[in-house]
Structure 1
Amino acid sequence: MSATVVAALVGGAAGSLLTAGLAWLRERRRTLDAYRAPQRQAIGDLLATTHDLMLRELESRMVQIELVQHIRQDLPPGEHLAAKLITATTALGKATLDVERSFAIGRLTIIDAPCWEAMGVAYIALTRLRTTMAVRADAPDMETVEQLESYVEEIRSLAEQLSQSVLALIVAAADRMSPAETLKNRRRRRQSRQRLTAHASELSSG
């Protein structure tokens, strides 16, 4: 067998192996995307509903603070403030139910272990928030302004804990649930992360 024929055979085999390898990489990326996409969507929905809850909590807190100011000044709340209080409380309650729905979808969808654990921590935070709100619903009349202020602060703190827990879930999912990428792009992202870290360090030192 001549050297030319051997070279052709070797070249053909190498080409076939390269083609097969590239096809395997493409299929692996598709498989990873199929695995990650529904989990990524569930986490995104949870983030969106949590952000809405934080907005509703802020609105409710502002109305409660306004109520406290009226009480301290011995002013009757009036129908307008009472209506605002009912609207804000209802909106906050609905927002917690929306987050609960997002967690239910997450339990059915998220199977990546670190993300699943982070979701569990966040759900505990939601449970604490809803439990505190339920206690207020069962005993709506606060005896003192201090009790009302304490309740408002507790709800703010619990909502913030929920938000931070969901952000921790996002951090856990950042690399594990991101779309599958090529090795070249992964390298570029790593380099970009290093440049961003250096830039942040320069801003801090400056």
Structure 2
Amino acid sequence: MQDFLGELLDRIEQTGANFSERAYEIVGGEIVPLLNVMFLAYVGYYGLQLFMGTARVSVSEIIGRVVRMLLILTLVSQWSHFNTFFYSWLNNTPEDVGRAILTATGTGITEPTNGLSMIWKTANEAASAFAEQSGYFSVLPSMVGFLIMLCVAVFIAVALAILLLAKVMMWVLIGTAPIFIACMLFEQTRNLGVSWFQQVLLYALIPL
């Protein structure tokens, strides 16, 4: 059976991915110059302290901070790096787990949207069967068929609305990711970065 809902969501998914990529590149392009300046100032400051022997932190700690800054700069400056290490994982892993669970049930359904499409098709067949039993003096079967279609339509609409809302929120959060990734640089703002990641993870897991 054709999974028309799956095809619709695939097109929406591609549009959302393009939006996230474009927004990520725009936001990243705005803050990367500032991060580069901060990185040079950071390295120069601690390098001068090490040279003068006045550093209050160890060499290993300084190296660790520099490496962390380089990783953050790499992620923020290139969407391809973020896409490889984070977005693809966040976007695909929950759906893959959901497919594995559906496959393990042995129902023959491997896609959540395929199940919704099957529900819609079954409801159409049931409504048609009731409609065939209707006549001029017997409208009750048609009313029952209409009620079935209405209930199924509401159920599918709610399921799709929840799924699309989660996707949209994740795309918006991904688009603003460079800001919150940069917050991971400093102890004072690290909580913002952690809270952002928790929200992204929450919306990524909703399709599961």
Structure 1 length normalisation: TM-score?
0.37
Structure 2 length normalisation: TM-score?
0.37
The structure with the largest helix share of the pair is: 1
Structure whose alpha-carbon radius of gyration is higher: 1
